[in-house]
Structure 1
Amino acid sequence: MNRAERDAAVRQIMERTPPHVPRELHADVVRRGSRMLRRRTIARRLLWLLLLAATVAFVVWAVIAQPWVEPPSETTPPLTDW
Protein backbone atom coordinates (compact mmCIF):
# COMPACT_ATOMS: atom_id res chain seq x y z
CA MET A 1 0.00 0.00 0.00
CA ASN A 2 1.59 3.24 -1.08
CA ARG A 3 1.10 6.65 0.51
CA ALA A 4 -1.73 7.77 -1.79
CA GLU A 5 -3.71 4.61 -1.06
CA ARG A 6 -3.20 5.02 2.69
CA ASP A 7 -4.33 8.66 2.52
CA ALA A 8 -7.41 7.65 0.55
CA ALA A 9 -8.22 4.89 3.06
CA VAL A 10 -7.88 7.26 6.01
CA ARG A 11 -10.08 9.86 4.31
CA GLN A 12 -12.70 7.23 3.59
CA ILE A 13 -12.74 6.08 7.22
CA MET A 14 -12.98 9.66 8.50
CA GLU A 15 -15.81 10.54 6.11
CA ARG A 16 -17.74 7.37 6.94
CA THR A 17 -18.05 8.07 10.67
CA PRO A 18 -18.92 11.69 11.47
CA PRO A 19 -17.44 12.85 14.77
CA HIS A 20 -20.08 13.28 17.45
CA VAL A 21 -19.19 15.50 20.37
CA PRO A 22 -21.70 16.31 23.09
CA ARG A 23 -22.55 20.00 23.38
CA GLU A 24 -21.47 20.25 27.02
CA LEU A 25 -18.12 18.70 26.19
CA HIS A 26 -17.60 21.07 23.25
CA ALA A 27 -18.25 24.15 25.40
CA ASP A 28 -15.95 22.83 28.13
CA VAL A 29 -13.17 22.09 25.66
CA VAL A 30 -13.46 25.54 24.07
CA ARG A 31 -13.32 27.20 27.51
CA ARG A 32 -10.29 25.16 28.58
CA GLY A 33 -8.55 25.72 25.27
CA SER A 34 -8.98 29.47 25.45
CA ARG A 35 -7.70 29.44 29.03
CA MET A 36 -4.65 27.40 28.00
CA LEU A 37 -3.98 29.76 25.11
CA ARG A 38 -4.25 32.79 27.40
CA ARG A 39 -1.86 31.23 29.94
CA ARG A 40 0.61 30.29 27.23
CA THR A 41 0.51 33.84 25.85
CA ILE A 42 1.10 35.34 29.30
CA ALA A 43 3.96 32.92 29.99
CA ARG A 44 5.58 33.76 26.65
CA ARG A 45 5.32 37.50 27.34
CA LEU A 46 6.77 37.07 30.83
CA LEU A 47 9.71 35.09 29.45
CA TRP A 48 10.40 37.79 26.84
CA LEU A 49 10.21 40.42 29.58
CA LEU A 50 12.63 38.41 31.73
CA LEU A 51 15.02 38.06 28.79
CA LEU A 52 14.83 41.80 28.13
CA ALA A 53 15.49 42.61 31.80
CA ALA A 54 18.48 40.25 31.90
CA THR A 55 19.89 41.84 28.73
CA VAL A 56 19.49 45.35 30.13
CA ALA A 57 21.09 44.29 33.43
CA PHE A 58 24.04 42.73 31.58
CA VAL A 59 24.56 45.83 29.42
CA VAL A 60 24.45 48.14 32.45
CA TRP A 61 26.94 45.92 34.32
CA ALA A 62 29.24 45.78 31.29
CA VAL A 63 29.22 49.56 30.90
CA ILE A 64 29.96 50.13 34.59
CA ALA A 65 32.51 47.32 35.16
CA GLN A 66 34.17 47.45 31.71
CA PRO A 67 35.45 43.86 31.85
CA TRP A 68 37.30 44.30 28.52
CA VAL A 69 39.69 46.88 30.04
CA GLU A 70 42.85 45.45 31.56
CA PRO A 71 43.23 46.51 35.21
CA PRO A 72 46.23 48.68 36.06
CA SER A 73 49.33 46.86 37.18
CA GLU A 74 49.98 47.08 40.93
CA THR A 75 53.14 44.95 41.09
CA THR A 76 55.69 47.64 40.18
CA PRO A 77 55.79 51.10 41.70
CA PRO A 78 55.42 54.07 39.39
CA LEU A 79 58.61 55.72 38.15
CA THR A 80 59.24 59.14 39.74
CA ASP A 81 62.13 61.63 39.99
CA TRP A 82 64.46 60.53 37.22
Structure 2
Amino acid sequence: MNRAQREARVRQLMEGSVSRVPPDLYAQAVRRGTRLLRRRTAGRRLLWLLLFAAAVAFTGWAVVVHPWAEPPSPTAPPLTGW
Protein backbone atom coordinates (compact mmCIF):
# COMPACT_ATOMS: atom_id res chain seq x y z
CA MET A 1 0.00 0.00 0.00
CA ASN A 2 1.59 3.24 -1.11
CA ARG A 3 1.14 6.69 0.37
CA ALA A 4 -1.70 7.77 -1.92
CA GLN A 5 -3.68 4.64 -1.11
CA ARG A 6 -3.14 5.14 2.61
CA GLU A 7 -4.28 8.76 2.39
CA ALA A 8 -7.37 7.73 0.43
CA ARG A 9 -8.18 5.07 3.02
CA VAL A 10 -7.78 7.55 5.87
CA ARG A 11 -10.02 10.08 4.11
CA GLN A 12 -12.61 7.37 3.58
CA LEU A 13 -12.52 6.48 7.28
CA MET A 14 -12.71 10.13 8.33
CA GLU A 15 -15.71 10.82 6.09
CA GLY A 16 -17.56 7.72 7.27
CA SER A 17 -20.24 7.65 9.88
CA VAL A 18 -19.30 8.68 13.38
CA SER A 19 -19.77 5.94 15.94
CA ARG A 20 -22.12 6.67 18.80
CA VAL A 21 -20.84 7.11 22.32
CA PRO A 22 -22.95 5.50 25.05
CA PRO A 23 -24.91 8.19 26.94
CA ASP A 24 -23.79 6.99 30.37
CA LEU A 25 -20.09 6.84 29.49
CA TYR A 26 -19.28 9.98 31.50
CA ALA A 27 -21.06 8.67 34.61
CA GLN A 28 -19.24 5.34 34.34
CA ALA A 29 -15.89 7.09 33.97
CA VAL A 30 -16.55 9.26 37.01
CA ARG A 31 -17.55 6.25 39.12
CA ARG A 32 -14.50 4.29 38.04
CA GLY A 33 -12.20 7.25 38.64
CA THR A 34 -13.66 7.82 42.09
CA ARG A 35 -13.25 4.15 42.95
CA LEU A 36 -9.63 4.14 41.75
CA LEU A 37 -8.90 7.30 43.73
CA ARG A 38 -10.37 5.76 46.90
CA ARG A 39 -8.32 2.59 46.42
CA ARG A 40 -5.14 4.55 45.85
CA THR A 41 -5.77 6.70 48.92
CA ALA A 42 -6.52 3.63 51.06
CA GLY A 43 -3.36 1.92 49.83
CA ARG A 44 -1.26 4.97 50.60
CA ARG A 45 -2.72 5.20 54.11
CA LEU A 46 -2.06 1.50 54.68
CA LEU A 47 1.57 1.87 53.61
CA TRP A 48 2.05 4.87 55.93
CA LEU A 49 0.49 2.88 58.77
CA LEU A 50 2.83 -0.06 58.12
CA LEU A 51 5.82 2.27 58.00
CA PHE A 52 4.80 3.85 61.30
CA ALA A 53 4.29 0.42 62.91
CA ALA A 54 7.73 -0.69 61.69
CA ALA A 55 9.33 2.46 63.13
CA VAL A 56 7.61 1.92 66.50
CA ALA A 57 8.64 -1.76 66.55
CA PHE A 58 12.25 -0.89 65.70
CA THR A 59 12.35 1.81 68.39
CA GLY A 60 10.95 -0.59 70.98
CA TRP A 61 13.49 -3.25 70.02
CA ALA A 62 16.36 -0.75 70.15
CA VAL A 63 15.32 0.50 73.60
CA VAL A 64 15.21 -3.04 75.00
CA VAL A 65 18.32 -4.51 73.32
CA HIS A 66 20.64 -1.45 73.20
CA PRO A 67 22.35 -2.46 69.92
CA TRP A 68 24.68 0.56 70.13
CA ALA A 69 26.31 -0.63 73.39
CA GLU A 70 29.48 -2.68 73.13
CA PRO A 71 29.09 -6.13 74.70
CA PRO A 72 31.50 -7.09 77.50
CA SER A 73 34.67 -8.87 76.46
CA PRO A 74 34.39 -12.66 76.90
CA THR A 75 38.20 -13.19 77.10
CA ALA A 76 38.90 -11.78 80.55
CA PRO A 77 37.40 -13.52 83.59
CA PRO A 78 35.46 -11.40 86.05
CA LEU A 79 37.50 -10.04 88.96
CA THR A 80 36.16 -11.40 92.24
CA GLY A 81 37.60 -11.65 95.74
CA TRP A 82 39.98 -8.71 95.78
Q: What is the TM-score with the length of structure 2 in the denominator? A: 0.69
Q: Report the Cα offset of residue 80 of structure 1.
A: 3.3
Task: Indicate the percent of aligned positions where both proteins have the same amino acid.
Answer: 68
Matches within 5 A, 1:34-53: 34-53=34-53
1:10-65, Cα deviation, whole Å (9 max, x unpaired): xxxxxxxxxxx643110100000000000001000000000000000000010011
Asked which structure has the greater CA Rg, the reply is 2
RMSD value, Cα = 1.7
Unaligned 5+ runs, structure 2? 1-20
Tell me, which stretches of 5 or more residues in structure 1 are unaligned? Answer: 1-20
Q: Measure, in 2, the Cα distance between the counterparts of 1:75 and 1:46.
A: 48
Taking the aligned partners of 1:32 and 1:75, their CA distance within structure 2 comes to 68
- The amino acid across from 2:47 in the alignment is L
* CA distance in 2: counterparts of 1:42 and 1:34, whole angstroms: 12
Q: Once superposed, which parts of structure 1, at least 4 consecutive aligned residues long, lie more than 3 Å away?
A: none
